[in-house]
Amino acid sequence: MTESIRFHEKYNFRKIFLDSIYKLSPIYLAKNNPVMFVVILGFFITAIMLIIPGQIPKYEINFYLAVSLTLFFAVWFSTFSEAFSEYEAKARVDSLKIFEKEIIAHKITNDHYTEVKSNSLRQGDRVLIKKGEIVPTDGFIIDGSAYMDESMITGESEPVYKNKGDHVIGGTKVIEGEIKVEITSERGRSFVDKMISLVSQAKRPKSQSEISLNILLSGLSLIFLIVAGTLYYILKSLGYTYVNIALIIALLVALMPTTIGGLLPAIGIAGISRLTRDNIIAKSGKAIEAASDADIILLDKTGTITEGNRAAIEFIPLDNFDVRCVAITSYLSSFNDNTREGKSIIDLIESMKIEIPDKIIDITLMSKPIEFNIKNRYSGIEISNPSKIMNYIKDEKICMKFMEILREYATKGENIKILKGSVDALLPHIDNMNKEEIEKIVRDIGEKGETPLLLTINTKAVGIIVLKDRIKTGIKQVISDLKVMGITPIMVTGDNPITAKVIANEAGIDHVISQAKPIDKLNKVDEEQRKGHVVIAMGDGTNDAPALAKADVGVAMNSGTRAAKEAANMIDLDSNPSRVVKIIELSKQLLVTRGAVTTFSIANDISKYFTILPMILVLNNPKISYLNILHLTTPETAILATMIFNAIIIPALIPLALRGVRYKPENPRKTFIKNFLIYGIGGALLPFIAIKLIDMLLAILMGVK
């Protein structure tokens, strides 16, 4: 997937290196990483014994030095992985700030263009943006059209076509065309500014499972510390004179879960970064953890399941009008309608290849527009001189019924209103048809989840325009993926039960709350939580805030109200509700990665036990050499090989920690079995192979046979 924000092409390894050195502080490690704190203590103990004269026999100095260095590098690799992942997270904010750079804009003042700095623009100012230029700040197009490159903001590589009335984002680029834009946001309040603010303010408190895992690792470290110390004194008392501090520290570090201890901070930070790279801000680790455990999700119909903009899909003629007549009448009623519904009617006429005569277009210019309002619930045009219009179009090939009605009202000298609107608003005035017949057609349309608009010429019913709120492209796959992951989607809508059921069936949703009020969403969240479910709620309005705050995971759209964003614990900067699957997948990937590395680490420790402890015992008792199941060369090479493997496995797994274990929607049991085979059994076998190879290499380098 294309990253929505490009990070620096080159990493600042000097900064990463210095940060990793700072994190080597025992105080920092004691507070943040108890496992690595024990390892760094082991390094200091062996290093001090090397520095103080007489503490170590001369023949053991090289061994102590080797153990000390491997301990140091094991800790440094851990702090490096954490510093590296933190750098990637911070790089996102830096890369966003690139789009805040000051540019020269062409400000429009009294039909003249003045070059001004972008930071001087205020809400209401108008600017001209030409091909190849950058949009100075957020606004909407008041004239012209253009293809925009929004890839640096949204991640979509395809140019986006924008025309009059569309919103443009500061920092995006005009790649074809020319537009005039009215500024809608002042400096510091643009889309990019909001993203920077959200990203930089998002904190990463540890999730409950991360805290629990840290407690477990601390407990294991303490237990192994006691075991190692006790073993040292027992072996000394039994006459194992070759047992020394370095050997016991090596045993302790080998037994401790250093792999997960070393990578745990990086996994957590990288998980947050992966969400951020996909323009999703998680305010806490708890939200991510809850998203991965969710089994109920409440989805709004409008804008989530459907496009939220009804479009014309069919013309139904009435009273012997033909489809062409209905199309021409619809054109006249919709010419001045700049809503998406109005535009969709014109688009439907064009897709049906119905040619509109030029003189019909002229009628719209000679008529008075009738704007839609809540009280009347219709829109269209009013012709104040029908006789003149009649004479103007008499030679045009227009349907007979249409001409008859024009002639009738021209004879009466009455104005003509060509309207489209709510059936309830227009039906009472119809006199050319049985109203019950129209009502039956309207009911049939409603049962299919569609919306009828009645088309009239004064008191004459001409036809019905059928509108449908289309389901979003790919939403069926989204719902299918949610079900595969064991999550039950519930659609929430204010529509009547029939319309709601039709849309739900089309999208593949089995559970619906129809005729819902804002309080119903909150009540549903509370009801499901009392049943023991983990609930995700999505919304963008102030009325959604209570449900977003109550839900285990509240996802607010960045385009939503402040109240919604403050109540939620996740924010989708792209305001694309269908990306909830991505949120869940990334959350599950984070926990699966943590689980996989933990499994790998524990499996490693079990294997390392069979390589290092037997070799310590063999030092004083060659008779039990049969415990050397790998036939390692000497106790020294075996212990050093184990320590080296213990250190290098951490940087080897850094890419996995940053990238995450690959996750796809499937049965959780299947995911568990697959990861157990790879990271459990694989984690147990890898140390045997790697340690044997390192032991052979050490034997060659040390000249041991």
Best-predicted range by mean pLDDT among 8-12, 129-133, 565-569? 129-133
Average pLDDT over residues 366-393: 82
Q: Strand, coil or helix: what is 116? A: strand
**Residue-wise pLDDT tens digits, 191-209:** 555 555 544 444 444 556 6
Q: At residue 129, does pLDDT exceed 60?
A: yes
Average pLDDT, rounded, for the chain: 81
What pLDDT does residue 99 have? 53
Q: At residue 441, does pLDDT exceed 90?
A: yes
How far apart (Å, rounded) are the C-alpha atoms in residues 51 and 49? 5
Average pLDDT over residues 529-557: 85
Q: At residue 554, does pLDDT exceed 80?
A: yes
Q: Strand, coil or helix: what is 352? A: coil
How far apart (Å, rounded) are the C-alpha atoms in residues 612 and 630? 11
Q: At residue 674, does pLDDT exceed 50?
A: yes
Residue with tokens 């029908």: 386
Task: Residues 295-307+472-572: name the CATH superfamily.
Answer: HAD superfamily/HAD-like (3.40.50.1000)
Higher pLDDT, 350 or 93: 350
**Cα distances (Å, whole numbers) of residue 368 to 173, 336, 386, 389:** 39, 10, 12, 13
Q: What percent of the chain has pLDDT over 90?
A: 18
What pLDDT does residue 2 have? 38
What pLDDT does residue 494 have? 75
Instruction: Pick the range with the lowest mean pLDDT from 145-159, 243-257, 281-295.
Output: 145-159
Average pLDDT over residues 599-619: 81
Identify the CATH class of 311-468. Answer: alpha beta
Q: At residue 550, does pLDDT exceed 70?
A: yes
What pLDDT does residue 187 have? 59
Residue with tokens 């990334």: 586
Separate counts of helices (H) and strands (E) for the chain = 26, 20
Q: At residue 388, does pLDDT exceed 70?
A: yes
Handedness of CA 373, 374, 378, 382 (dihedral sign): negative
Kindly tell me the burial class for residue 695, based on how many C-beta atoms sit within 10 Å of its own C-beta (0-12, 13-18, 19 or more).
buried
**Residue-wise pLDDT tens digits, 269-320:** 676 777 777 778 777 667 777 888 889 999 888 767 887 678 899 999 998 8
- Within 10 A of 575 (CB to CB), how many other CB atoms are there? 15
What is the domain partition of the chain in residue ranges? 13-92+201-279+585-702, 99-200, 295-307+472-572, 311-468
Catalytic residue list contains 300: yes
Instruction: Pick the range with the lowest mean pLDDT from 166-170, 430-434, 519-523.
Output: 166-170
Average pLDDT over residues 138-156: 76
CA quadruple 35, 39, 40, 44: dihedral, nearest 10 = 150
pLDDT category of residue 489 using cuts at 50, 70 and 90: very high
What pLDDT does residue 139 have? 85
Residue with tokens 């285990």: 552
What pLDDT does residue 626 have? 78
The CATH architecture annotation of domain 99-200 reads: Distorted Sandwich (2.70)
Q: Strand, coil or helix: what is 431? A: coil
Q: In 3D, which of 305, 299, 301 has the Cα closest to residue 473?
A: 305
Catalytic residue among 138, 193, 278, 300: 300
Instruction: Tell me which amino acid residue 152 is.
Output: M
**Residue-wise pLDDT tens digits, 54-89:** 788 887 888 889 889 999 998 999 898 888 877 766
Q: At residue 372, does pLDDT exceed 50?
A: yes
Average pLDDT over residues 467-478: 84
Higher pLDDT, 141 or 339: 141
Average pLDDT over residues 468-477: 83
Average pLDDT over residues 29-37: 86
Q: At residue 3, does pLDDT exceed 50?
A: no
Q: Which two tokens stand for residue 434?
A: 């049985």
How far apart (Å, rounded) are the C-alpha atoms in residues 215 and 223? 12
